[in-house]
Each structure stands twice: as C-alpha cells, then as structure tokens.
Structure 1
Amino acid sequence: MKATWEKIEKNLGVLEVEVEAERVAAALDKAFQKVVKKINVPGFRKGKVPRSIFEARFGVESLYQDAIDILLPEVYTEAVDQTEIFPVDRPEVDVEQFAKGQPFKFKAKVTVKPEVKLGEYKGIEVPAANIEVSEEELNEELTRMQERHAELVVIDEEAAQNGDTVVIDFDGSVDGVPFEGGKAERYSLELGSNTFIPGFEDQVVGLATGDFKDVTVTFPETYHAEELAGKEAVFKVKVHEIKRKQLPELDDEFAKDVSEFDTLDEYKADLKKQLESRKEKEGSAERERILVDQVGENAEVEIPQAMIDSEVENMVRDFDNRLRAQGMNLDMFLGFSGQTVEDLREQMKNDAEKRVRNNLVLEQIAKAEKIEATEEEINKELQDMADAYKRTPEEIRNILAANGSLGGLKEEVLLRKTIEFLTENAKEVPAEQFAKKTEKSEEAEKPAKKSTKKAAKADDSAAEEQNEE
C-alpha cells in the first residue's frame, strides 16, 4: 500500500492512498460471503450460490460498496500510521477507483491535530502560598458548622423570610387551566433557594402561617415545557407552616456533638489545621491553573472546530455523569433550569476551547522537555485505581484497554508530570504583588479591546463604501 500526505491549509490536508489489487480481491471475497447469505436464486439453497453464477446474475459491481466498507477502515488506519498524522475529525473520503483486478485508489480530506508554537513557559509568575487562617475565616467555618447542625423550629407568630422553610399547598394554572406538575400539597420550600420559577419565592416572603395568596409568575422563554414557555401563570398558595433554622450554641457540648474533641478550644484548633490544609491544596490548584492558562495564552495555535466540538460533548457527558452520581440526570437538570442541551453546549464552548488549547500546549512542552510517562508510573496509577475499586491492577488495565482508555491514562500521567515541571520552574511572587500585576494587565487590555472594536467598525464601514461603489 502507498500513502502520501499533503497539507493544503492550516490543519487540513489530503491523504492519498493506493491499495494493491490483491487486497481488493480479498475484500470482494469477504463481501461475497456476506451478501450470498441473504439472496435467493432459483435452484440453489440460500448461501450456496456459486460466485460465477452470482456475478453473472447480479454483476460483480453489486459487491463493490460492501467491499469498500470492509476495506476502507482498515487501509485508512494503516495510511494514518504510515504518514504519521493525527486526525481529529472524520475524514471526507473520495473514492477515485475501485474495480475487480485493479488497485483501490481514494483521497481523504483530513483535519489533523494543529501545530503548536510555544511561547514562554519557564519562569511564569505565580502567587506565593499563603496558608494562614484568620480569625474571621475560622469564625465563618464555625458558623457553617452551626448551620449544618441547626434544627428547624416552627415559627407561629412571625412572617416568612429568606432562609426559612415554608410548608405550602400550591395549585397553578395558565389562563385558568391547570397544567401538569403545577399542583402539590404540604410541599417544603426553602425561600431563597431559587428552586422555583423566578419570582415565586419572593412573593411568598412576608406571608404568615395560614395566609393565602395568588402568586403570579412568568415561565422563562427557554422553559423545557414548550406549552408553558413564556406564559404567565397564577399559583394559589396556602401557607401551612413556617420553619426557621435555630443554630446550636458554640460551646463544649457543641464540640462533643460534632467532633471527637471534648472542648470547643480543642475543636477550633483542629478546625484551623483543616482550614490550613484546605488552603494549601486550593492554593496549589490555583497556581497550577494560573500556570497552565498562562503558558496556553503565550503559545500560538489554531484549533480546529472539530476538536472544540468534541471537547464540548465530553464535558456534557461528564456533567451528566456527575448529575447521575447525585441522583439526577441531564434531562431533569434541563427541566429544572429551563435550558436546552444546545444552551448548555453554548455555555461550555469557551471552556472547551481553553481545555483543548491548554492540553495541546502541555503536550508540546512535554515533547520539548522530553518528559515521558514511564511504565512504572502507569503501573502505580493502575495500582491506586485498583485499591480504590477493590480490584487487581490487571483487571483495571483490561477494563481500560477494552474501553480504549488505556492511552488516556498515559496522557493523564504525562500532563500531570508536565504541570509539575512548570510548577518547579515557576517564579513565586508575593500574593499582593501578583494581584496588582494582574489588575494592571486587565486594565491595559481594555483600551486594546476598544481599539480593536473601533478598527473592526472602520473596516466594516470601508467595506460598505466599496460595495456601494
């Protein structure tokens, strides 16, 4: 087989392939064995028609498409390996020649992984670690712990306010007609949680136990139920009960209830250590994010739309999996939020593009610095996964191999090592100095953006004048 690759523009090129006539004959044989099982010819049992009779009756050309379907994926993969390209999208294939006794010739337009021109990636400034926990931060954490262990106490004399949980009946209608899902009895709703249609909870604030009210709201234009989208609805609401959080006292008894310690002072000391550890991890993650984003911005790369679209789909899948882990799914989320899956994809596009850019740049840095994921490191990763899932490393390896994810594990290890390399070669500066520098950079970008907009408007005006002439 002969294969050549010619780049025609940016990340697009043509893969030209010629396959030997012998392989065409073998593909035709396989196609015949597949087709002959399905045809009926008088005088022959199904699947027993001789090849010569078949070709005389139906023509050898009737086998061509099946033979191409059998042969093309195989030789395309070989051609990709032979020319050492990295496709990132489905190819556009043009079959130029396919006939019995002749070579198979085809061309494929292929979008490939883009080339990356690295910018500065060593000595990138990052804010120095600060794990000091202030008294205010400690008190905020104590308050969160109080709220977590708060009791809901029934309030009889006061009106409902944000943060309260109200037990209500509601009965909704549009133009006087009830709609599905618009009615419930003794429903517990936390005011301020924004779980209901915008405006509903605000109108319940101020009601007292036993109060009735007609709550008027408008469904969002993007509401998942098309028959309700943009419609005004009236809910007849009755308040049965109001419950308010009652925080426990911060004392030794509280410490005993929520921890292994006997005194509040001991508990606070341990809580401070936990906060310091958390700040250290969060600070490390933030410095890595700054590093990766900066080296990504410093590099030059033109990203094919196909790679962005693919990453968006990966993000949607990951989001759905996280929702399922919480007892929801994507359809339920879209219903609650009044969005469509297209809205979600649109929101994810910028992050998807940044992810693709950063991964391409990290991959190029790994090549430039000869960073590799060793077999020992991959085995350690497999062992960690095996321990977590209570399986053997061999079982985990087989599962990943069957899912085509083993290469992804190697890439993950490689990217992590590359980020470690960037961290080791970064330059720490005081957090205040870093913040001021970031603010100056953002301010400097604003006039540039305005100038770009003005230039674009000027170009548009000039184009209009030329069209008029």
Structure 2
Amino acid sequence: MLFKFSDRLVEVDPADDSQIYDTIDERGTYVKASVERLENNQVSLQIEIDEATFEQGLEKAYKKVVRQVAVPGFRKGKTPRKILEARYGKEILFEDAVEFIVPDAYKQAIAEHNVEPVEQPKIDVIQIEAGKPLIFKALVTVKPEVVLGEYKGIEVEVQPVEVREEDVQRQLETMQKRHARLITLTEGEAQMGDTAVIDFEGFKDGLSFPGGKGTDHPLELGSNTFIPGFEEGLVGVSVGETVDLHLTFPEQYHVEELAGQPVLFKVTVKELKRKEYAPIDDEFAKDVSDFETLDELKEDIRKNLMSAAEKAREQAKRNAVVEKVVGASQVDIPMVMIDSRVDQMLEEYGHRLRYQGISMEQFLAMTKQTQKDLKAQFIPEAEKVVKEELVLEAVAKAEGMSVSDEELNKEIEEMAANYRKPADQIRKILESRGQIDALTEGILLKKAAKFLVDSAKEIAG
C-alpha cells in the first residue's frame, strides 16, 4: 500500500449519501467507515480508527524505532518513548504506526461492506495526531457490476457424434507407424521418411560458421528439423555419396548473422535407415495391445474415439453456450484486471518456453519483438477470459450458488490423485500459497457454466 500524508481534516458526515458502518474486529478495534461508489469502478472508503487503537500502533512503532536511533545518554533500544518523542518529535512514530494498523483496518472495512478490490488501494492519511482518531482514505478499483442478458434456455447448434470406419483405420495406421522398425539399407537412394546418418559442414563466404558442423547426425527426412531445402536436398542421395547444398537461411532465423544469408552445406550420407511396417492383422493386434484379434482392437479404438468425440462435443456445447451468454451481457472491465491477466498469461508462457529450454529473452530476440509487443498480443484473449469469468460469477450470484466443503474436499482429493500425494498434503500446500480461495472460485465458475449448459436447448446441426 502507498501512504500519502495530508494536513487536511475530513470528518465523516452521517447525513451524506454514503453509508456509515461500525466494525469491531477480534481485538476490539473500533473502525468507522464511510463508503462512496465512484465512476469507472472505483470506490472511496474513509476509515476512522479510534485513538486507543492508534496508540497501540504508536507503541508498536516505538518498539521498532527505538532500536534504530541513538539518543545521547541512553543505550540503543533503551531510550524511553517520551524522551525519544521529545527529541525527534512524535511524528517519528507515525509512518510505522500507520503501516502497522492501516492494512488490518482496510481489510476489515472491505470485508464488512462487500467491497471486492482488484488492485492495491491508494492510501491517503487525512488526520494523524497523537490522542486523536487516525483517519485515512482508501481509493481502490473494484470488480465491475455485470448486467446479465438472457442466460437460461440458450439455444445452441450441436453436431451429432459419430465415429467412421476411416477414423478407426487412421488410428490403426498411427499405431502401425509408432511401432515401425528401422531397417538399415545396404543399397538404394534416400527417400522422404528415411533416417539418414550424415556428416555435414556449413560454409558462409567460404568459411565454416559456429554450429554448422555435425558428425554421425541422425536426420529423419521430412521432419523439418533443418532449414528449408536441406532435407529435400538429400532425397535421391545414395549411401557414401557427398553432395553440395546451396541454401539460404530464413529471414527470421534466430542467429542474426545467418538470417537471410546464402550458405553452402557439404553433406555425406553415411547410412540410411528405413521404416518397416508390420501388416495390420491379428498378429499386429497382439503385438501392440492386450487383445487377441484385430476386431477386438478395432472395437476398443472405436469406443475410445467415441468417448473423445463426446467430450469434444460437450466442450464445444459449453463454449457455445457461454459465448452466447457472455455476448448478451454488459460489463465495463477495469484495465487493471486485464493487465493483471496479461501478466499471468505472460508468466505461464515464459514457463512453457523454459520447459523447452528457451528463455524469454531468447524468444524475444528470435522473434524480433519486445515484451511490450508480446503483451499486446495477449490483451484480446485476456479481456475475453476476464469477461467470461465475471459473467459466470454473476450467474452464480443470481442463482444463489455457493461451494460446499464437500465440493472443495472432492476437488482437492482429485488433485491429490493426479499428483499421487495425500489430500491433506495438497490442502496444506494450497493453504500455504493462499490458493484455497482461487480454487473455490474455480469450482464456482464451473458450477455456473454447468448450470448454463444444463438449461440450454440443443438444435441439431
């Protein structure tokens, strides 16, 4: 929280249009708060903390400050408070006292008055004087109100679920390729799909360049592992043959010195390996599965494809229903919510890059863009996601939905099963990271989406 001190004295007027509330916390702290709704999803809270509680904050501040300052005639940490204040002024304790007591008072006020902030507040201290109440204002952006359109009985077009024989055959062919054997060739020419074991060296302007040389490198032709033209240039080459490939690096190549540059690769094919596919029959079924016959394997594939198709159909229906409900609803989303989601998406994207062994800095250099450019690309999707969540939240509120302890426990148990850890351990991890509320919110949104889907009307596509 950012604190701003002011000499202005603003008193709470019970007769104005705002509401006056009194809050008592667990320690008996007396907080008086007025709440004013402003434009652009902002709320202003004026909060008053009684003098007794302010004094507690001053005493706590004294215990901190006295260890940091030296007063002649006293050991550090032993200066009486009155002498410390007389020498440096009572104001020496104010900033720390505010930091000690304002956050709790703010949390009490927003909880009591159902204010849902989406950012840290801007704090303006209005009155701060020993022996008097501490008064401060908090200006904060809050979740926007959603005006729901029609959300029950939404009509959506759905496609029938079917699994064709060619779908089953395609799956069998995929399995056939996955279980192919590599046969070393003693003669013949390289074809697309072969694995060529090669020695190669690249030259630019007659000189070899870093990273352009390899020995006994296995390369599957058609895998697009090398730059365009390299793999194609080896088709028709025989074992033991050396060829010159005159190629050009792509304009967007990640090594700037090579991007768009013409080069020569000298390549020797030392060995060729070709995939050998087993015939798709009963023996194949026995080798690749627990089934005895091809018909049994086909039936299992058909069931799995049908299950996947039904899940895809349900997901498509869910997306169509929610999209219609979101489109019919109105909400003015604060930019801070979109920015926050963009940052989250950027962090997740960076994590995926690191998993592939690429840093964010390397990715930005390869794609010749700045982090600002990348953020801008995420904004439309972030806005879509935030609006969907806000609308689903509004549906849940309109229908009086909540998340029971049983539902939360079930979700945690499912997470525990996925991670193969005890449920109580997963719960402790979530609690330590402050993620229980987010998990509960996620369950609520799923319930709201399910409600919309269950009440929707299907129209044959």
What's the TM-score bracket when you normalise by the shorter of the two chains?
0.7 to 0.9
Question: Can you list the C-alpha shifts for 1:431-457, whole angstroms capped at 9, x where unaligned?
Answer: 2xxxxxxxxxxxxxxxxxxxxxxxxxx
Give the unaligned 5+ runs of structure 2: 1-30
- The 8 Å contact of residues 224 and 231 in structure 2, kept in 1 or not, is answered as no
- Residue among 101, 112, 120 paired with 2:142: 112
Q: State the Cα distance separating 1:160 from its structure 2 match.
A: 4.9
Q: Which residue of 1 aligns with 2:25?
A: none
Alignment match, 2:4: none
Which has the larger displacement, 205-214 or 87-96? Answer: 205-214
TM alignment of 1:38-117, pairs within 5 A: 38-117=68-147
Q: Name the counterpart of 1:338.
A: 366
Task: Compute the displacement of 1:114 (Å).
Answer: 0.9
The 5-angstrom pairing of residues 254-293 of structure 1 reads: 254-293=284-323
Is the 8 Å Cα contact of residues 133 and 276 (structure 1) preserved in structure 2? yes
Q: How many residues are aligned here?
A: 425
What TM-score does the superposition give when structure 2 sets the normalisation length?
A: 0.80
> 3-state DSSP class of the match of 1:266?
helix
Segment drifting more, 99-108 vs 296-305: 99-108
Matched AA of 1:295: V
Choose from 175, 188, 191 the match for 1:157. 188
Of 236, 250, 255, which aligns to 2:265? Answer: 236
Of 136-145 and 124-133, the range deviating more from structure 2: 124-133
Summarize the Cα distance change of 1:71–1:416 in structure 2 as closer, same or farther, 3 Å threshold. Answer: same
Tell me the distance in 2 between the aligned counterparts of 1:141 and 1:76.
60
Partner of 1:328: 356
Q: How does 1:144-293 map to 2 (within 5 A)?
A: 144-154=174-184, 157-161=188-192, 163-171=193-201, 181-196=211-226, 199=228, 201=230, 204=233, 206=235, 208=237, 209=239, 210-213=241-244, 216-218=247-249, 223=254, 228=257, 232=261, 234=263, 236-240=265-269, 241-293=271-323
* 8 Å Cα contact 1:129/1:280 also seen in 2: no
Structure 2 match to 1:451: none
| CA 122–212 in structure 1, closer or farther in 2 if over 3 Å, else same | same
C-alpha change, 1:189 and 1:348, in structure 2 (3 Å) is farther
2:454 pairs with 419, 424, 434, which one?
424
Choose between structure 1 and 2: higher helix proportion.
1
Q: Which amino acid aligns with 1:232?
A: Q
1:251-308: CA deviations, max 9, x gaps? 2221111111122122112111111111111111111111122211111111112212
Q: Does the Cα contact within 8 Å between 1:173 and 1:233 map onto a contact in 2? A: no
Alpha carbons 1:131, 1:277 under 8 Å: kept: no
d(CA) in 1 for partners of 2:205, 2:53:
70
Instruction: Report the CA distance shift for 1:191/1:319 in structure 2 as closer, same or farther (over 3 A).
Output: farther
Instruction: Find the aligned partners of 1:144 and 1:405 in 2 and give their Cα distance.
Output: 41
- Per-residue displacement from partner, 1:409-430 (whole Å, max 9, x unpaired)? 2222222222221121111111
Alpha-carbon distance change, 217 to 391 in structure 1, aligned in 2, over 3 angstroms: same
Q: Quick one: which amino acid aligns to residue 333 of structure 2? A: I
CA contact (8 A) 2:60 2:97 kept: yes
Q: Relative to 1, partners in 2 of residues 1:346 and 1:215: Cα closer, same or farther, differing over 3 Å?
A: farther
Unmatched segments (≥5 aa) in structure 1? 432-469
Distance across 2 between alignment mates of 1:420 and 1:386: 23
Letter in 2 for 1:109: L
Once the two structures are superposed, residues 166-222 of structure 1 have per-residue CA deviations (whole angstroms, 9 ceiling, x without a partner) of 44445557777776655443333444444555x365664547354343554446559
Q: Which residue of structure 1 aligns with residue 37 of structure 2?
A: 7
**What is the TM-score normalised by the length of structure 1?**
0.79
**Residues 271 and 18 of structure 1: is their aligned pair in 2 closer, same or farther, counting only changes over 3 Å?**
same
Shift of 1:386: 3.5
Aligned CA-pair RMSD: 3.2
- Measure the CA separation in 1 of the matches of 2:316 and 2:426: 31
Which string of whole-angstrom CA distances, capped at 9 and with x for unpartnered residues, describes residues 69-97 of structure 1?
22332222122223321111222333333
Quickly say closer, same or farther: Cα 1:150–1:26, change in 2 above 3 A: same
1:401 to 427, 431, 434: 431
Q: Percentage identity across aligned positions?
A: 42
